[in-house]
Structure 1
Amino acid sequence: MAVPELAPRRTLGGVIAVWVVAAVIGVLVGLLAGDEWRAQWLAVGLGGCLILAFAIQLWGGRSQGFTERVAASALGALLVMGVISLGFGLASIVPG
């Protein structure tokens, strides 16, 4: 029999932390990687965000909703990195 938690821990912080790391990785890759290598490094960064999402959620110690929290972290990281890469892609085609 499972004992209900009296005060469940907040889990949104771990999800948002992965999104922030994805934004930092996306900006760093956009600034430091060349145009021909940007997509490959973004994929590596997204893989790192997925591993980070698993680590944060495992560290939290809650089994209820584990899959949903990891999925939200990974999907959010994908969207954040996609928007940042879209910005860098559009910036590269603008004549300057």
Structure 2
Amino acid sequence: MSTPDLAPRRTFGGIVAVWVLAVVAGVAIGLFVPTEWRAQWITVALGGCVIAAFAVQLWGGRSQAFIQRVAVSVLGALVVLGLITAGFGLASIVPR
């Protein structure tokens, strides 16, 4: 049996950190990657966010609701990268 945490650590910061990583990766892809390669690099960025979500939650050291925290981190990163990709798509149909 384990003893309960007297003052549990906050876990929302680790979740938001993965979302911020997704925003930074999406913006970097938009700035530095040619248009025809953006979809592939967004996929790579999402894979990096999955690995980062596991690493951040393992580093936190709490086992309670581990899967839920990782899932929320990855789902948020997916939504963020999806919105950025939608922005790329809308920007590509605007005439220059």
TM-score normalised by length of structure 2: 0.97
SS in 1 for 2:7: coil
Q: Shift in Å at residue 32 of structure 1?
A: 1.2
Corresponding residue for residue 33 of structure 2? 33
RMSD: 0.7
Deviating above 2 A after TM superposition, structure 1's stretches of 4 or more consecutive aligned residues are none
Identity within the alignment, %: 67
How far 1:24 sits from its partner (Å)? 0.5
1:59-88: CA deviations, max 9, x gaps?
Answer: 000000000000000000000011011111
- State the distance in 2 between where 1:92 and 1:34 align: 12
Can you give the 5+ residue segments of structure 2 that lack an aligned partner in the other structure? none
Q: Structure 1 stretches of 5 or more lacking a match?
A: none
Structure 2 equivalent of residue 19 of structure 1: 19
C-alpha separation in 2, matches of 1:70 and 1:61:
13
Residue pairs, 1:35-74, within 5 angstroms: 35-74=35-74
* Deviation of 1:8 (Å): 0.5
Task: Determine helix, strand or coil for the equivalent of 2:72.
Answer: helix
Aligned residues: 96
Q: Which moved more, 1:11-20 or 1:28-37?
A: 28-37
Deviations 1:39-62 (A, max 9, x none): 000000100010000000000000
Partner of 1:77: 77
